[in-house]
Every structure is written in structure tokens, then in C-alpha cells.
Amino acid sequence: VIWMTQSPSLLSASTGDRVTISCRMSQGISSYLAWYQQKPGKAPELLIYAASTLQSGVPSRFSGSGSGTDFTLTISCLQSEDFATYYCQQYYSFPWTFGQGTKVEIK
């Protein structure tokens, strides 16, 4: 099993801020990593796959980087609609696993 450590678990920020979320793997996964956004009561939405490829329709203020064991999601200029919970997910090997989540809240 590949263990994932996502940090921070809670991030307080203001509109316009640049924020970064980290995801660290217990072993290398090449670039087989995705990022999701989830709002309360809603299903998650895919933001990024293959560590850095932006899903169609996702705003360019979202970006992903990293390979191997260390990955980062960056939101360059936080908008009001970005306050949500974010998850990383590895699909390098079964069982596929998710990070614990990062809640981005209004400061």
C-alpha cells in the first residue's frame, strides 16, 4: 500500500492569496497523481491529472507540479469559489489511495 501524507490539513487564506498544498508519497509513483476539489454536499471534481495536466475547463490559476514522491497543488490567486477541500490521489498501483484532504477556509 502506498501511504500519502497531505499537508496542511487546514489552510486559512484570503481572496487573492497564492496557496500551496503538498502531497508526499511513501514510495515513488512517477507522475501518476491527480488532484480534486470538493465542496460541501457535492461530488469531487477533477482538477489535475498526471501530476501537472490541467483537466479541461479548470481555470489556469490551478497548477500542479512534482514527480516521484513529492507533489504540489498551487492556486495562484485564490478566488471566492476556491474555498473548498482538496484531495490528492495516486493511481500508480492498487489499492488507489487518497490523501487526507486539505480544507481551504477564509481567513
Partner 1 sequence: EVQLLESGGGLVQPGGSLRLSCAASGFTFSSYAMSWVRQAPGKGLEWVSAISGSGGSTYYADSVKGRFTISRDNSKNTLYLQMNSLRAEDTAVYYCAKSPRDPAAPGAFDIWGQGTMVTVSS
Residue 13 or 46 with smaller CB distance to partner 1: 46
Question: CB neighbours (10 Å) of residue 82?
Answer: 19
Cα–Cα nearest to 8, from 69, 77, 88, 79: 88
- 27 near partner 1, judged by CB under 8 A: no
Cα–Cα nearest to 59, from 71, 42, 77, 41: 77
Considering only 14, 16, 43, 60, the residue that binds partner 1 (CB under 8 A) is 43
Contact letters (x/-) for partner 1, 54-93, by CB under 8 A? -x-------------------------------x-x-xx-
Count of residues that interact with partner 1, criterion CB under 8 A: 26
Listed ranges 16-24, 43-51, 62-70, 76-84: which one lies at the site for partner 1 (CB under 8 A): 43-51
| CA–CA dist 15, 97 (Å, integer) | 30
As given in the structure block, the three cell numbers for residue 52 are 501537472
